[in-house]
Structure 1
């Protein structure tokens, strides 16, 4: 057996070794059952392409453009960054009606409750002061001369364009984002608008799949804000300006937890190091009044006893909730129950003082201190929609339910048998002591009830004409979908307690289908959902092929299920081109409780009547699930992934 430069087109396209004996089919095509005449064609090496000229290390965008133009097999679509419309402006910029900017600010305030630092009366007045004939000009050549307010407006519009039909007449989102990036300068003295713009840019980059950029912008905003805090403490500001500074600092705190992604590095900000007070009430902030809060004492930073749990103090509740959620995610992704010592009796999840129990109790305390009107489903989406608080209401409940889901799922059997019932982990490390009676059944109920409530909550927001297609709710929808599909295949894992109908499962999938068309991060989740459906269906239909496998056999798949960034998996040997993002489709099932579960064909685009070369069972039996997805977290720290080109998760294989 030899390895040569002679390769088949399939292996060449996927940039993998083509192993053969000098004649077709190669090993990869045999594995994929491409053995018929003409399906595996061995050809010689392609002509050497034009060498990419050396590019300064800082000019990453130019490198990508060079790669796309010189190494692509066929002409590929240019990135949105190169398709920016200048609207006929000879200066390479564009102008936007100030009314469009104001509309984007209102959307930003309602759809991104993580960022409650925009004081609309103050900012609107400032925007009108810099407009020219009712328009705001964004000129790249004069970016250095523009005020930081231009950068802030551009960042907010870029973030809101993908989710706002009313702004569809404006330039593409990337036009605004590109302008804002061009205004970033870490050498200039920091100012508040620049910090806020960096936070909005961080959220935008996160949504478009650029995890590293999001992390860097968030970190830059935090460092700038820490410098500004020193200046604020020695200057005299109006009450409203002080609170804008305070809320911007807490927005840095939240964004740090969102883009942290459960990695092992420490958070940039700790609640115990925040030299400020909790956010003031929404009423006081809107009217520019001071609540008279002093800086936090050590006793006030950690415990929840001082938390005011009504909607008027929403932002303070949200800050605490995101802190709890981030620590739960960090524990799970860093190893969770598989961390050293976690299987010891004193660390069993039902034992007081164990890591799991401490996180669970803190989450419950946070929830208990919220008034009844903030809790779904006790309080309705419709009631909050009538008060204009639907999105804020949704965020609080999404944090709670996705936290419960992650805590419970850590001890859930990854691939059960069709007859399995909840009884704790079945692969190492095992728990030597039995759980209290009914404990595992209660955890299963929490997991699947949480998944059902997430799907229901997002569906009701749409029905109330308050849809929430932003990154964090998208991740919650994805997490709920994995569990809803799981329990639809293994209903006994929840003791046949049907908390969500198949109609609800389909609505959950439909939400993600729309989400992926708005945000690139959703495409990776969409592919993962398709593979989860394949795995669950295959295990339900014939579990014998999975006998003897442990959770370790699915570590890469499990990692992708936990990944909050939504970065699309790399297509490799075990993920054939037939299962691409573009091929995954769903059906518009409108039946009620009699609707059957989504079939594999409905979710992943497979049609066994047309593609008979690989059956579902054979594909699942031959697939090495531990190789389907790379460990994306490790890729964050690989500076040059392919031929010296910085890795960009938005670039398709065709572009590369």
Structure 2
């Protein structure tokens, strides 16, 4: 037994005193045949000295014992939240501050994105993205120039989420970026996946922030970045992570109300309704004091939101696989029209059908001379419809001019039926494919009583 009190001989010899308590013979005195005498503890003023002696004895026993407890380690202070935030932000910015990311490289990267990923992620507007990249490149050059100046000028950095997402998807296809992040050596060629992982890691860090609260921030850019990260994870054969990122993006999109045509539906309601006011404030839709026509920038911004949600729908159908990865978006609950290329590229006010509506032909359109303008289906032939000389209701309009009736007075173009865009048809096909995948993952024909 190890005691906290040592006999006089062990104390003088600075050795460990192994005894069963006071007034017992310790192991050292028993082996040498000497009397084992314990010192009388001091009281009163001398108590402090006795405590110091005992502490010194215990410390000596800790150094000489064969079964000593491990040494105590000093507790280190954890880095502060502010320093961690700065480190995460600096890591993401350092990746984008690389000298290899020139404007020419960015343009090539965007072309790669359009070639490989624009169908699943159709929300990047070319002019807007390229202007953002030029701003990012100019900010990077100014930062390099300001390093020699003191004090540095405080400037607001552009949002790096979208550039990091684009690089995470396309870096593997860019030879310069692959060679830069994964230099080839003898016997070890360059690994394209390393280049993509560099930017994906920076994107994860930027999305999570310091304590993870940034992930719950409803923002359109953050939703788009999560979708890009999900597509990257899917390409890296990490389907579970991809499904989780898509689920996060869908929840943020639903919080923002992207599954509804808020600008069109809410503004048409009675402004005196308290439910109307609450819903407007919740989704952040500003009520205009006077009716005002949408500008092309407003149309493009609305179409970008619409395409962002359809990207959520597409990846939800692609990554959901039955029982353990259920789908999160139900078509019957959607109140949003299908995307339009003309609205996205030119800012035209286009009306398309909705996914939960049956496919119908668009209303007839007539030219200025009262002659019906044929649709694309009619132009391709195979129809024997006769074109009347005069419109039935006497209202001349063009398919690209604003119609004059009360229900459609803010529409420039109809894209319904045969005139739907290719992206709208892709969404319809993916919806069918999602139903087939769900049926197949549930057992398919092995659990079907009757043949299809």
TM-score for the superposition, normalised by structure 2: 0.48
Greater relative contact order (Cα < 8 A, sep 6+): 1
The structure that has the greater radius of gyration is: 2
